[in-house]
């Protein structure tokens, strides 16, 4: 087993073929969840899995499970996978690498004729990004019991289309119940989406866990008025108030070094007319930190600031926390399997904490879980310029292969 390797060229070719679906002019991908392009990507993955001899099942959240039978197929599966949906200006590797690395593991097991004791499954989780439907990772969240099924299916995009409606439209509203079954272990391979591995010149990140996250939606209501006749001292400019919140969010992040991250990623001004003082502004806030106590302090600081801002300026202000994901610590045995896989394959490696949320974070609530990171160029992700080398991607896939075999067992 030590000398067994995946076919890096085959993995790369699969990634480039999938990247044609939703390709953008700048070399990235736009394959938003439950769009026609997402359906095309799902169909391609499903066809490849059938060619590899897998059986496929789809649950009521649209999660796809491709199963390679084990010698004792009644045993709980060792599972791996990630997601196929992207950001509007996303890259070719975020999510899809973890899916196709899992497929490449199955193909490699077929190549060498290896039978595992436990079955092995590759999963595609629905709407990991949370770009079209908030919150992120909602389908793996339903699988893990963090959300109920009705909540997941009722999530709507900006046009009011729900996940349930769109799953039916694209033909991926499955019949299988969501979750509720035993899993031997789950592994997710992913690009790092940060600069640490590249900076440290390491090939493999052994992921110990993930930062906690809090997502907020804030609506500031002032008063629309004419931009010309309205004196500056009498204005209730909602956009000016929102800009102060943006500045405060940034300050909160800087006040909790070195791990805190604080971002205003979306802002919408109404009526959005050049000669009308904005009367209402909607904005989002994303807080992250590996310590729950610090994350709570950041939450309290934002709430106190917004309360004072509204009182002092005469604004109406609605602040709602729409999502909370506590810090995650991955299973020690799965982490050990990743570390052992890196050593067995001869790759340089280091322990690392994920700064981003992943489906693995929810799955860890119901199954022993581990993650494998590989470097991405300049740490850039959620960007059409996202890049990773074929060599690093193959290395991560090889580590995944070793970890899966260790947990699934050789028959």
Tell me, what's the pLDDT at 2?
62
Domain with CATH 3.40.630.10 in the chain: 8-211+327-408
Among 365, 361, 101, smallest CA distance to 207 is for 361
* Burial zone of 219 (CB within 10 Å; 0-12 exposed, 13-18 middle, 19+ buried): middle
For residue 220, the SS3 value is strand
User: What are the CA-CA distances from residue 290 to residues 158, 190, 262, 293 (Å)?
Assistant: 31, 19, 13, 9
Tell me, what's the pLDDT at 357?
85
- Give CA–CA dist 375/357, Å, rounded: 17
Domain with CATH 3.30.70.360 in the chain: 212-325
- Give CA–CA dist 50/46, Å, rounded: 6
CATH, domain 212-325, list 3.50.50.60, 3.30.70.360, 3.60.15.10, 3.20.20.70: 3.30.70.360
Domain topology for 8-211+327-408? Aminopeptidase (3.40.630)
Question: What is the mean pLDDT of each successive set of 10 residues along the chain, which is 411 residues long?
Answer: 88 98 97 98 98 98 98 97 98 98 98 98 98 95 97 97 98 98 98 96 97 95 98 97 98 95 97 98 96 97 98 97 91 98 96 92 97 97 97 98 98 93
């Amino acid at each position: 087993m030590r000398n067994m390797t995946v076919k890096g060229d085959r993995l790369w070719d699969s990634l480039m073929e999938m990247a044609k679906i939703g390709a953008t002019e700048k070399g990235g991908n736009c394959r938003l969840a439950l769009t026609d392009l997402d359906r095309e990507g799902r169909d391609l993955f499903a066809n490849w899995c059938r060619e590899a001899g897998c059986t496929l099942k789809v649950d009521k959240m649209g999660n796809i499970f491709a199963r390679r039978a084990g010698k004792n197929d009644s045993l709980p599966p060792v599972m791996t996978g990630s997601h196929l949906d992207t950001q509007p200006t996303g890259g070719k590797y975020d999510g899809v690498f973890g899916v196709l690395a899992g497929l490449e593991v199955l193909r490699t097991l077929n190549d060498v004729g290896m039978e595992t004791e436990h079955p092995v499954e590759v999963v595609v989780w629905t709407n990991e990004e949370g770009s079209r439907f908030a919150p992120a990772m909602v389908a793996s969240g339903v699988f893990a019991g963090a959300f109920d099924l009705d909540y997941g299916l009722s999530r709507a995009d900006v046009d009011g289309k729900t996940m349930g409606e769109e799953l039916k439209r694209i033909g991926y509203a499955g019949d299988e119940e969501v979750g509720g079954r035993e899993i031997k272990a789950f592994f997710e391979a992913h690009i790092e989406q940060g600069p640490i591995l590249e900076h440290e010149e390491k090939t493999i990140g052994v992921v110990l866990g993930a930062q906690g996250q809090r997502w907020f939606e804030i609506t500031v209501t002032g008063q629309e008025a004419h931009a010309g006749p309205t004196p500056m001292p009498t204005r209730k400019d909602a956009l000016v108030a929102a800009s102060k919140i943006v500045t405060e969010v940034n300050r909160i992040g800087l006040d909790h070094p070195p791990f805190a991250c604080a971002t205003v990623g979306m802002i919408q001004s109404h009526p959005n007319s050049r000669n009308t003082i904005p009367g209402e502004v909607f904005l989002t806030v994303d807080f992250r930190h590996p310590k729950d106590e610090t994350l709570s302090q950041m939450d309290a600081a934002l709430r106190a600031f917004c309360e004072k801002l509204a009182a002092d300026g005469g604004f109406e202000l609605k602040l709602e926390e729409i999502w909370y994901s506590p810090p995650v610590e991955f299973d020690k045995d799965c982490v050990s399997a990743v570390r052992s896989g890196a050593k067995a394959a001869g790759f340089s490696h280091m322990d690392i904490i994920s700064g981003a949320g992943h489906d693995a974070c929810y799955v860890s609530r119901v199954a022993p879980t581990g993650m494998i990171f590989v470097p991405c160029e300049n740490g850039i992700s959620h960007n059409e310029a996202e890049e990773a080398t074929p060599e690093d991607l193959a290395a991560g896939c090889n580590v995944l292969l070793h970890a899966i075999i260790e947990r699934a067992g050789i028959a």
